[in-house]
Amino acid sequence: MFMNPLPRLRLHQPFAILLGACLTIAVGVQPLRGASLHYLSAGQPDSARLLAPPPLPDSAEQAADMATVVAVCRACSTNAASLAFGEKRFSIYNFTPALGERLKPGKLPKTEAFFDRLQKDAAAATDEAKDYWKRPRPFTVNPSLASGKLEKSFGYPSGHACEGMVLALVLADLFPDQSEAVLAIGRDLGWHRVWIGRHYPTDIYAGRVFALAIVREMKASPDFQRDLAVARAEIAAVGRDGAAPR
């Protein structure tokens, strides 16, 4: 928010607006002091109200879900599995293939901090949802699917699907010209977890739905809107080709 440095002067409105715009460009948009560390309120969004329950154990729906995981895992190549395992930890820089030179480490420090903060919020909300639904992961039910270092957390909704789509939705807002490519990467971050038996398809779909609710909740936060504006200004300053314009 622009704070008028000359509060005692009475400025004509057009001149005041122009002055504010010029000073904003000169000093940059700065985060407010004393701002909340979170974009989400405690317990929000509520997965118990937003998500349908996962398939019941021993149901035909659960059997179909498991059959899909088994088929996808068996069809997964060694290279694809390596890619999925490599995405155990991910950030906005997983979206560099869609955004190119504009999104490289070190070029957008304020934007990176913004996305790190919102990803942590999304992860916390998803962990809370997992603990509520307590759905075992596919490799727990079918040990033949187990490979690599196994997670101890529950599986519904998928954290990768949720966090990946949260990042994708906000990046798509900041880079509308590449929104389709960005959203495709967000979807893949979730689906690749099915390749290696970490999630059922229904975990992935629930994660995407939960991501939409998280972003909607975040957009109601003044802190989120402020930091989004900071990121947007930083991206505009860097320019389309990743180099600061004259």
Q: What mean pLDDT do residues 82-110 have?
A: 92
Q: Does residue 84 sit within a domain?
A: yes
Q: Which domain holds residue 135?
A: 40-238
User: pLDDT per residue over 201-240, tens digit each?
Assistant: 999 999 999 999 999 999 999 999 999 999 999 999 987 5
The pLDDT, as a whole number, for residue 242 is 53
Q: Tokens representing 125?
A: 């909300």
Shared-domain flag, residues 90 and 15: no
Mean of pLDDT values over 92-97: 95
Residue 246 covered by a domain: no
Domain harbouring 218, CATH code: 1.20.144.10
Q: Are 130 and 157 in contact (CB under 8 A)?
A: yes
pTM of the entire predicted model: 0.82
Q: At 241, is the pLDDT very low, low, confident or very high (cuts 50, 70, 90)?
A: low
Q: From CA 47, how far away is CA 65, in angstroms rounded?
A: 21
- Write down the pLDDT at residue 240: 59
pLDDT one-digit tens code per residue, 23-71? 333 334 444 444 557 899 888 999 999 999 999 999 999 999 999 999 9
Between 80 and 29, the higher pLDDT residue = 80
Half-sphere exposure (Cβ direction) of 209: Cα atoms closer than 13 Å? 17
Q: Both 71 and 153 in a single domain?
A: yes
Same domain, 26 and 113: no
Percent of the chain with pLDDT over 70: 82
pLDDT digits (tens, 9 = 90+) for 8-24: 434 444 444 343 443 33
11 plus 103 within the same structural domain: no
Q: Both 116 and 213 in a single domain?
A: yes
How many domains does the chain fold into?
2
Mean of all residue pLDDT scores within the chain: 86
For residue 35, being part of any structural domain is answered with no
Instruction: Look at the alpha carbons of 43, 44, 45, 49 in this order and tell me if their dihedral is positive or negative.
Output: positive
Same domain, 20 and 96: no
CA distance 63 to 60: 5
Residues 106-139 as b/e (b if ≥16 CB within 10 A, e otherwise) read: ebbebbbebbebbbebbeebbebbbeebebebbb
Q: Give the tens place of pLDDT for each residue, 200-212.
A: 999 999 999 999 9
